[in-house]
Amino acid sequence: MIERTLSIIKPDGVERHLIGKIISKFEENELYPVRIEMKHLTQKEAEGFYDVHVGKPFFNELVSFMSSSPVVLMVLEGEDAVAKNRKIMGATNPANAEEGTLRRMYAKSIDKNTVHGSDSLENAKKEIAYFFG
């Protein structure tokens, strides 16, 4: 099924000039950006986006990192986009990410893990609506 999912290139990816490489990887795998915006999130925007993680030990650091410098927000479209994006990204913790995945290639730590992707079709719809209406 053709789906849409939300992808974010996090501050560590933007700062290290990995935008082009990351988008190429999606396109090579037939996931195509249909919306793109570079944005410096406010603390409030980052908190709202990650509200499912409120109260978790990593929440404050996550919000502060995600609002520290600009991110690239993207809607990716393609066959099985949600699952495919997660496969391309690899595990949340780069130490566990498979060879060839974005996080294995580029992420430095579980906090600075370079990309975010929606984890279900339901959350993809919410996350896309959160940033793109």
Q: Which of the residues are catalytic? A: 116
Pull the structure tokens for residue 74.
């993207």
When asked if residue 113 is in the footprint of ligand CMP (CB under 6 A), the reply is: yes
Selection from 11, 26, 40 nearest residue 101 by Cα: 26
The gap from C-alpha 5 to its chain's centroid, in whole angstroms, comes to 10
When asked if residue 103 is in the footprint of ligand CMP (CB under 6 A), the reply is: no
Q: Which of 88, 116, 124, 128 is the binder for ligand CMP (CB under 6 A)? A: 116
Q: How far is the CB of 102 from ligand CMP (least distance, A)?
A: 12
Give the H/E segment covering residue 61. Answer: helix 59-66
Q: Considering only the stretches 22-30, 72-80, 97-105, 108-116, report the one whose residues sit in contact with ligand CMP under the rule CB under 6 A.
A: 108-116
The gap from C-alpha 127 to its chain's centroid, in whole angstroms, comes to 11
Q: Is the Cβ of residue 23 or residue 85 nearer to ligand CMP in the bound state?
A: 85
When asked if residue 62 is in the footprint of ligand CMP (CB under 6 A), the reply is: yes
When asked if residue 110 is in the footprint of ligand CMP (CB under 6 A), the reply is: yes
CA distances from 98 to 9, 31, 93, 109, 118 (A): 19, 19, 10, 14, 19
Contact residues for ligand CMP (CB under 6 A)?
Answer: 53, 58, 62, 92, 110-111, 113, 116
